[in-house]
Amino acid sequence: MFDPSSRYHGLPNRLHRRSDGREYVYKARRLIRDDAAVPASHEVTVGADERLDTIAARELGDPLAFWRIADANPTLDPFALVEPGTTLKIPSLDHDCAQVDE
């Protein structure tokens, strides 16, 4: 259903059954682990006019992997991640910073 590079790939389906009998299938939530648990392969310092997708393209070889960098550097304001001078943890592509909501 989802591309293998998607953050939703591999998430289990869940079933919600309403009181009227209707059923809805949905994907389990991804919960981001505590950032202390995220091993970084390396770190980079954000330069002027950089975006997460361009950093992901340069550092991970895939601009669509921007979400991996966002997951490894949790913040409530994603624009704070690309402030010039910010140090970002770059996770390896084989590490998932999220866990499935049980």
| DSSP secondary structure of 48-89 | TT--HHHHHHHHHS-GGGHHHHHHHS--S-GGGGGSTT-EEE
pLDDT tens digit string along 6-48?
887 888 899 999 999 999 999 888 877 665 566 778 999 999 9
pLDDT tens digit string along 56-88?
999 999 999 898 899 888 788 888 999 999 999
